[in-house]
Chain A
Amino acid sequence: MLRLPAFEYLAPRTLEEAARMLAEAGAAALPVAGGTDLFPNMKRRQMEPRVLVGLRGVAEMTQLSGSAAQGWRLGAGITLARLAAHPELRQSYPAVALAAESVATPTLRNMGTVGGNLCVDTRCNYYNQSYEWRRAIGFCMKRDGDICLVAPSSPRCWAVSSCDTAPALMALGASVRLVSAREERVIALRELYRDDGIDYLALKPGEILSEIMLPPADGWRSTYRKLRRRGSFDFPILGVAVALRIGADAIVEQARVCLAAAASHPLEAVKAAEMLAGKKLQPDVIAAVANEIFRVAKPVDNSDLTLSYRKRMARVLVERALRDLAEAAASGRNGQAPGA
């Protein structure tokens, strides 16, 4: 028996109702969509919300509409399976499809949602453990304790962002709609995250991530590369999303490079993107960008494999992603064909 702690479950039918329920329940409440991450975490007492507001029945959160020319609106409640299989998105926003289809397993992608993945809890070897284990080793600050067991002198938590879709969507310039009982606002996806293992989401109390907006594809090519140990199941050891707009003369006009599992938030490598702008994707440019990525990726010793290995691999993955896109541009494709 792995037991869920006791909680109350509310099943709103509309976004407005969901926001109201969340507001009324206050700090003890959490929204839940697919539950594929939350329920196992709750069984390990990593979190014990007294109220769960289930978003499955909110039909308006499962809408999906748009075009490459106008951009897309993705309901946060659409499943990762649906996102990965969408032919037009695969065509115009390959990084998103590649990231979505690399999450967990087909079984879990039929349940897990894109909104849930964007909000997925940060992970750490000292945190993703049963209550008894955490108690025996001494609790950490992310849950029940007051120090970081990875870096005991650190004032902050270093749990690692392990979301695949966020870097891909960020690289493509996505924004998100946040709805609460009091207000509605749209922010850039990058503004959703904070570099802190505990307060990793910049959500205001009672806010629900309801929708993701992708800007027009507008010549952007993109790809996502994920490093993991097995063919399925695993969270990223490291992920790299790259989006580029390449001009007719093969010169990069605009670039975004974002990393998964390299920090407590999806890490946007701004300087690396600046280094790409105005350049052709020549080997020396790629190498210089990869060095910059190596500099900014700062994994700590709290997940699979050694941290020096993970730091080095950031360089390799960025090089490969850039080469993918250089080849794609040369052959007129958009990024690495998903599923290839």
Chain B
Amino acid sequence: MSEDTVLSFEVNGRQVSLSVPPLWRLSRVLRETLGLVGTKVGCEAGDCGACTVLLDGRQVCSCLVAVGQAVGRKVVTVEGLSEGGVPGRLKRAFHQGGAAQCGFCTPGMLMAAADLLERNPSPDESAVRDALGGVLCRCTGYRKIVEAVLAAARPELAGQRRPAQPAPGSVEAAVGARIPKTDGIAKLLGAERFGDDVAPADALWLHAVRSPYACARFRLGSFAELQARHPGLVRVLTARDIVGRNRFGIYPDLKDQPVLAEGFVRFRGEAIAALVGERAAIEAIDDQKLPISWEPQQPLIGIEAALAPGAPALHPERPDNVLVRGRVSRGDLGAGFAGAAAVVEGRFETAFVEHAYIEPEAGYARRVRGEGGVDRIEVVACTQTPYLDRDEIAAVLGARPDQVRIVPTAVGGGFGGKLDISLQPLVATAAWLLNRPVRCVYTRPESMAATTKRHPALMTARFACDGAGRLTAVEFHGDFNTGAYASWGPTVAQRVPIHASGPYQVGAVRATTRAVYTNETPAGAFRGFGVPQAAVVHETLMDELAERAGIDPLEFRRQNALGPGAITASGQRLGQSAGLLQCLQALEPRWRAARAEAEQFNLIGGVRQRGVGIACMWYGIGNTSMSNPSTMKVGLSAEGRLTLYNGAVDIGQGSNTILVQICADALGMPADSFQCVTGDTDLTADAGKTSASRQTFISGRAAELAGRDLRSRILKLAGMPEQAAVSLEGSTVVVSYGDLRRVIELGALKASDGGDVLVGMGRFDPPTTALDENGAGVPYATYAFAAQMAEVEVDLDLGTVKVLGMVAAHDVGRAINPTQVEGQVHGGIAQGLGMALMEEFVPGVNENLHDYLIATVGDMPAIEVMAIETVEPQGPFGAKGIGEPALIPTAPAILNAIYHATGVRIRRLPATPDRVRAGLLARRGRAALSQEHGGAARGGNRDG
């Protein structure tokens, strides 16, 4: 086949004839030639299934199909799924059931499900799991996807399954309702635009050249010859092209990571140059043939190597490779241990964990002429933190922040990994210098090699209790591998000591941490900032202590639980919203039944043994001991258009919906009357980062205040009392109170702000204080609490662990949207299960989604979610947060269940089959040994 061949095939019922190279991937032809960008690309290797389309009715990975292979065949993409029949039922079931979170895997899931239902109209759950086994999702834990497919297959049950929702137009009914996502429809139609879906057609492509060495000096030769050979190569960016500050970082005083390395790299995957040009030219250049000479050096791999005496310093200003230390100390530790009836201790180790969002980093930048002839740069990309991006890019460009506009695209999963800037400064610099739009999309291996991870931790701890089973002392030390650059290392080092003693009242606590530089991938923010690692320690040791004290593990936690008015390790007195006791109470019947069932099951003595474990957590909502405000604006236009200007980025967790629900009830107008403007730094105020589980609590509170502000302005205009009802009727606002009725003609009001005639503003900054040298103070305004229970089955011969079920009780203050709360818990459990059993990123070894294992649909258990509501007075309608709390107790609950099943304590994560098996063998060895000794002793007695 020559390149001139016209290829004909059917796409979404329409015959197409294209002159494209037959070797192009079908995914590329669909997205770029036909503009069908609803088909997403996550890995280009068949490892994620995001690009799944139907080829002659069967699900296939379009990234592995050459378009030449589609000739004469029928292709259906998400855009071609009809509104009727099976596809229509699927889309409605996904929407109603909350089956899409970020929406990036949704097209692939819909295609796989459509394939199944066309061939098997009434599948059971196991058939659904089998059919979806080729598509990865990182947000939902798959539960609501499986439920939606089952619901679509049984429309007669849909009425029973449909969750409670307010009737259209009803007021003060949004909070607490299972409202489908306000931005959900686009995700089901393939109409949502993610980072790689938005670049203009004339954009140049940027490819970052990265270090294959963890530690090396390098010299760049001349690129002149390369440019002569490749006229489409427009520019090669190196460190010298960074006109502003060639450093970035999260903390104002810790800008230590270069955009492009300056002659020296500190981790494998660090960018040293960027090729910018026409796509064909960029693709034709082999990185191996670039004029770069490398001088590799011995890298510092692992915390122990970096802390060894005489280890070279990664950064001269940190000669001991310790980036930062954290400390919390309260009470008399010596006395706490001296008077203890039981003391347990242990050393724990966790691995690098990759976020594995299915959308790789992507976006573009362009230079535009602003007002007054001042040039600006616009960066349109996936991000969790538009305002920080703006300031960082301004610094890198040597420009003012107001010269930078960040327009966040939809985000295909973040989990903390898109809080740090990635490609933004590169495309911004290129677009700024070349005055042409420049785009970039990371490959999967590049995304995994170059972006942040969860910190690996080495932790030791001692826990003590008195004769009554009350905790008397906790001592904890954790070293966290922060990799080559600071990123969020200080947050982890600071947050962990505050949480390290768990959600318990303890007489004396000393918790210390270090964040340690190594020549490994930078570790940053990942759902929980180090607390999930620390929770493995406190929950394992709580279990051991309960056993030593002879008290049931749940009961032991209950009698030590923090509750309203209790004093934390930081000396903070908790407010009224501290519902750990209610969480434990909700779990208790399930716990007793499951423990008894497991023990009964094990009496058979088969090769499979079951166990049930429990774990608790607490988590401070918002940034630690610092101001982290959010500002929300709600406006009414002359035409009667109601708009929430929302600077909080929704990364799939659902803030676009939650904030509307809150604002609607505060204002007294129905949620379905709102439009949203989100994220854009030109159009919205700073809502802070989508991190630290803070958007519902902080931005939610701001949205509530904005709604109330607009309401009071309307009432004031109408001269009506607080209890009056407001409603939007065309371009008028009708205010009524009893028989009184006033009509405000919006067209008659002066447009004050961006076309809006009435504007409500809300700002909330949770009250916190700095911590003193002992870590005392008020680090957070409020805390979430939770208890989770895991039921597992361990195959004693294979060492494999199957999680059979999870029950999760979470104190969320108030469940603004129960469907979304459940979705967060399901997704958190999927990631916690991965952390417990399979996830272990090794730089350079498993930088792809085949060898780096995340849970598939087949690995997920049944999950029961119990939302515990202990109203938080500072939160919007009493709400706190759920994003990170969802994950934190999962891993220790599973580890404790493994112990219950087998008697084996796993202290190095993940609990892979070989590690579990080694634990079983060691335990058998010990048992055999003690039997031998016992036998010898008895023999001795006989002799005597």
Interface assignment of B45: CB less than 8 Å from any CB of chain A: yes
Given A125-B845, A229-B913, A230-B853: A132 and B65 interface contact (C-beta under 8 Å): no
B61 and chain A: residue at smallest CB distance: A107
How far is it, in angstroms, between the C-alpha of A54 and the C-alpha of B23 when the chains are bound?
A: 11
Residue from the list B22, B133, B844, B859 in contact with A106, Cβ < 8 A: B133
Interface assignment of B64: CB less than 8 Å from any CB of chain A: yes
**Residues in B neighbouring A232, C-beta threshold 8 A:** 133-134, 856-858
A128 and B112 contact, CB distance less than 8 A: no
Interface string of A106-117 (1 = CB under 8 A from B): 111011000000
How far is it, in angstroms, between the C-alpha of A104 and the C-alpha of B66 when the chains are bound?
A: 20
A-B contact pairs, 23 of them (CB 8 A): A1-B282, A1-B283, A9-B1, A9-B68, A11-B22, A35-B64, A36-B46, A36-B64, A105-B133, A110-B58, A111-B61, A129-B844, A132-B287, A137-B844, A229-B913, A230-B853, A232-B133, A232-B134, A232-B858, A304-B851, A305-B912, A305-B914, A308-B914
B914 and A39 contact, CB distance less than 8 A: no
Interface string of B62-84 (1 = CB under 8 A from A): 00111011000000000000000
Chain A residues within 8 Å of B, Cβ to Cβ: 1-4, 7, 9-11, 34-36, 39-40, 43, 54, 56, 81, 104-108, 110-111, 125, 128-133, 135-137, 227, 229-234, 304-306, 308-309, 312-313, 316
A105 and B45 contact, CB distance less than 8 A: no
**Residues in B neighbouring A2, C-beta threshold 8 A:** 44-45, 443-445
Interface string of B281-317 (1 = CB under 8 A from A): 0110001100000001000000000000000000000
A231 and B268 contact, CB distance less than 8 A: no
How far is it, in angstroms, between the C-alpha of A136 and the C-alpha of B55 when the chains are bound?
A: 39
Residue in B133, B288, B917 with the greatest tally of chain A CB atoms within 10 Å: B133
Residue from the list B112, B210, B799 in contact with A309, Cβ < 8 A: B799
> What is the minimal beta-carbon distance from B926 to any residue of chain A, in angstroms?
19
Given A133-B844, A136-B268, A231-B859: A110 and B23 interface contact (C-beta under 8 Å): no
Residue in A10, A105, A306 with the greatest tally of chain B CB atoms within 10 Å: A105
Residue from the list A39, A129, A137, A229 in contact with B853, Cβ < 8 A: A229
A110 and B1 contact, CB distance less than 8 A: no
A107 and B856 contact, CB distance less than 8 A: no
6 new A-B contacts, CB < 8 A, other than A11-B22, A309-B917, are: A36-B61, A36-B64, A54-B69, A110-B55, A229-B838, A229-B913
**Residues in A neighbouring B444, C-beta threshold 8 A:** 2
B44 and A43 contact, CB distance less than 8 A: yes
A4 and B23 contact, CB distance less than 8 A: yes
A111 and B133 contact, CB distance less than 8 A: no
B798 and A313 contact, CB distance less than 8 A: yes
Interface size for chain B: under 10, 10 to 19, 20 to 34, or 35 or more residues? 35 or more
**What DSSP secondary structure best describes chain A's contact surface?**
loop
> What is the minimal beta-carbon distance from B146 to any residue of chain A, in angstroms?
12
**Residues in B neighbouring A131, C-beta threshold 8 A:** 288
B283 and chain A: residue at smallest CB distance: A3
**Residues in B neighbouring A133, C-beta threshold 8 A:** 212, 844, 847
Interface string of B435-451 (1 = CB under 8 A from A): 00000010111000000
Residue from the list B207, B212, B445, B914 in contact with A135, Cβ < 8 A: B212
Given A133-B844, A305-B913: A110 and B443 interface contact (C-beta under 8 Å): no
Residue from the list B60, B797, B845, B912 in contact with A316, Cβ < 8 A: B797
Interface assignment of B513: CB less than 8 Å from any CB of chain A: no
Given A1-B283, A309-B913: A136 and B856 interface contact (C-beta under 8 Å): no
A107 and B52 contact, CB distance less than 8 A: yes
A106 and B130 contact, CB distance less than 8 A: yes
Residue from the list B49, B296, B797, B855 in contact with A230, Cβ < 8 A: B855
A40 and chain B: residue at smallest CB distance: B45
How far is it, in angstroms, between the C-alpha of A42 and the C-alpha of B134 when the chains are bound?
A: 21
> What is the minimal beta-carbon distance from A339 to any residue of chain B, in angstroms?
8
B53 and chain A: residue at smallest CB distance: A107
**Residues in A neighbouring B918, C-beta threshold 8 A:** 309
**Residues in A neighbouring B855, C-beta threshold 8 A:** 230
**Residues in B neighbouring A312, C-beta threshold 8 A:** 917
How far is it, in angstroms, between the C-alpha of A56 and the C-alpha of B66 when the chains are bound?
A: 11
A108 and B23 contact, CB distance less than 8 A: no
How far is it, in angstroms, between the C-alpha of A106 and the C-alpha of B123 when the chains are bound?
A: 15
> What is the minimal beta-carbon distance from B834 to any residue of chain A, in angstroms?
10
**Residues in A neighbouring B282, C-beta threshold 8 A:** 1
A309 and B288 contact, CB distance less than 8 A: no
Interface assignment of B135: CB less than 8 Å from any CB of chain A: yes
Residue in B22, B58, B205 with the greatest tally of chain A CB atoms within 10 Å: B58
> What is the minimal beta-carbon distance from B558 to any residue of chain A, in angstroms?
35
Chain B residues within 8 Å of A, Cβ to Cβ: 1, 22-23, 44-47, 49, 52, 55, 58-61, 64-66, 68-69, 112, 129-135, 205, 207, 210, 212-213, 268, 282-283, 287-288, 296, 441, 443-445, 797-800, 838, 844-845, 847, 850-851, 853, 855-859, 912-914, 917-918
B857 and A231 contact, CB distance less than 8 A: yes
> What is the minimal beta-carbon distance from B427 to any residue of chain A, in angstroms?
14
> What is the minimal beta-carbon distance from A131 to any residue of chain B, in angstroms?
6
B46 and A81 contact, CB distance less than 8 A: no
How far is it, in angstroms, between the C-alpha of A68 and the C-alpha of B502 when the chains are bound?
A: 63
A133 and chain B: residue at smallest CB distance: B844
A107 and B838 contact, CB distance less than 8 A: no
A231 and chain B: residue at smallest CB distance: B858
B59 and A233 contact, CB distance less than 8 A: no
Given A108-B46, A306-B914, A316-B797: A132 and B212 interface contact (C-beta under 8 Å): yes
**Residues in B neighbouring A128, C-beta threshold 8 A:** 851
A109 and chain B: residue at smallest CB distance: B134
B69 and A56 contact, CB distance less than 8 A: yes
Residue from the list A111, A125, A135 in contact with B288, Cβ < 8 A: A135
A106 and B1 contact, CB distance less than 8 A: no
> What is the minimal beta-carbon distance from A285 to any residue of chain B, in angstroms?
18
How far is it, in angstroms, between the C-alpha of A232 and the C-alpha of B849 when the chains are bound?
A: 12
A227 and B46 contact, CB distance less than 8 A: no
> What is the minimal beta-carbon distance from B17 to any residue of chain A, in angstroms?
17
How far is it, in angstroms, between the C-alpha of A107 and the C-alpha of B287 when the chains are bound?
A: 32
**Residues in A neighbouring B797, C-beta threshold 8 A:** 313, 316
**Residues in B neighbouring A43, C-beta threshold 8 A:** 44-45
> What is the minimal beta-carbon distance from B805 to any residue of chain A, in angstroms?
16
**Residues in A neighbouring B131, C-beta threshold 8 A:** 106
> What is the minimal beta-carbon distance from B403 to any residue of chain A, in angstroms?
30
How far is it, in angstroms, between the C-alpha of A43 and the C-alpha of B856 when the chains are bound?
A: 24
**Residues in B neighbouring A125, C-beta threshold 8 A:** 845
B134 and A108 contact, CB distance less than 8 A: yes
Residue in B22, B46, B52 with the greatest tally of chain A CB atoms within 10 Å: B46
The 6 closest A-B pairs by CB, nearest first: A231-B858, A105-B134, A107-B134, A232-B133, A136-B212, A309-B914
Residue in A11, A227, A230 with the greatest tally of chain B CB atoms within 10 Å: A230
How far is it, in angstroms, between the C-alpha of A331 and the C-alpha of B443 when the chains are bound?
A: 52
A230 and B798 contact, CB distance less than 8 A: no
Residue from the list A7, A110, A129, A136 in contact with B60, Cβ < 8 A: A110
**Residues in B neighbouring A306, C-beta threshold 8 A:** 914
> What is the minimal beta-carbon distance from A230 to any residue of chain B, in angstroms?
5
B913 and A107 contact, CB distance less than 8 A: no
B60 and A111 contact, CB distance less than 8 A: yes
How far is it, in angstroms, between the C-alpha of A284 and the C-alpha of B132 when the chains are bound?
A: 42
How far is it, in angstroms, between the C-alpha of A16 and the C-alpha of B133 when the chains are bound?
A: 37
Given A1-B283, A111-B60, A133-B844: A233 and B47 interface contact (C-beta under 8 Å): yes
A4 and chain B: residue at smallest CB distance: B23
B59 and A110 contact, CB distance less than 8 A: yes
Given A9-B23, A35-B64, A136-B844: A1 and B441 interface contact (C-beta under 8 Å): yes
Residue from the list A4, A81, A234 in contact with B58, Cβ < 8 A: A81
**Residues in B neighbouring A111, C-beta threshold 8 A:** 60-61, 64-65
> What is the minimal beta-carbon distance from B931 to any residue of chain A, in angstroms?
22
B913 and A104 contact, CB distance less than 8 A: no
**Residues in A neighbouring B45, C-beta threshold 8 A:** 2, 39-40, 43
A313 and chain B: residue at smallest CB distance: B798
**Residues in B neighbouring A135, C-beta threshold 8 A:** 212, 288
A7 and chain B: residue at smallest CB distance: B23
**Residues in A neighbouring B212, C-beta threshold 8 A:** 132-133, 135-136
